[in-house]
Amino acid sequence: MNPELQGRVFPPTEPYLVGREKVREFARAVFASNPVNVDPDAARAAGYDDVVAPPTFAVVMQEKTLAQLLAEPDAGIDFSRVVHGDQRFTSSRPIVAGDLLTATLTVSSVKTLGAHSMVTAESSVTDAAGAHVVTAVSTLVVRGEE
């Protein structure tokens, strides 16, 4: 992997409109049965404008930023050798249906450990007003040739 990736900041992704049915679909997929996740009336009663996404929903935006990283011509990352090492979401507020979100990827570190490389990618998600919503930090391990 190219060590010069460290510190690189990518262009913001195209704005992503969070749909109510997408939130419900994702909630069902992660076994989230809380009414706030699926029922707009329950969400409104809890003080939200619409259904609330599960805590890991930002992975949908993160996928788009990681696609940018893997497509970077000089990155030298072989996708078939990538293993997800760890993951973190730090939220200022939950994602709610109706949000228009943009994600910006920063490669915060690139390390080599023997034959393996580790890249830590930080996707900062902001709303239409430019306010921070959540930061998704992912460490990918690229296994070396055996």
Partner 1 sequence: MAAASVTVPSFDVLELGDIVAERSFELTRDSLVRYAGASGDFNAIHYRDDVAREVGLPGVLAHGMLTMGLAVQPVVDWVGDPGRVADYQVRFTRPVLVDPDSGAVVSVVAKVGQLDADAHVARIDLTVTFDGQTVLGKAQVRVSLG
Q: Which of 38, 52, 110, 125 binds partner 1 (CB under 8 A)?
A: 52
53: amino acid identity, one letter: A
Q: Does 28 bind partner 1 (CB under 8 A)?
A: yes
Q: For residue 52, what is the DSSP state?
A: B
The dihedral region occupied by 76, where left means phi > 0, alpha psi between -120 and 50, and beta the remainder, is left
Residue 4 CB, shortest distance to partner 1, in Å, is 27
| By CB under 8 A, residue 144 contacts partner 1 | no
Nearer to partner 1, 8 or 20 (CB): 20
Select 6 or 91, whichever has its Cβ closest to partner 1: 91
Q: Which of residues 58-77 bind partner 1 (CB under 8 A)?
A: 59-60, 63
Distances (CA, A) of 137 to 49, 57, 107, 112: 27, 13, 10, 18
Pairing of strands 82-91, 16-17: unpaired
Q: Looking at 47, 73, 114, 130, which residue binds partner 1 (CB under 8 A)? A: 47
From the list 75, 102, 77, 106, the residue with the least C-alpha distance to 10 is: 106
Residue of 13, 18, 26, 125 that binds partner 1 (CB under 8 A): 26
Give the pair of three-digit tokens for residue 113: 């450990």
- Binding residues for partner 1 (CB under 8 A): 22, 25-26, 28-34, 36-37, 45-48, 52-56, 59-60, 63, 80, 83-91, 93-94
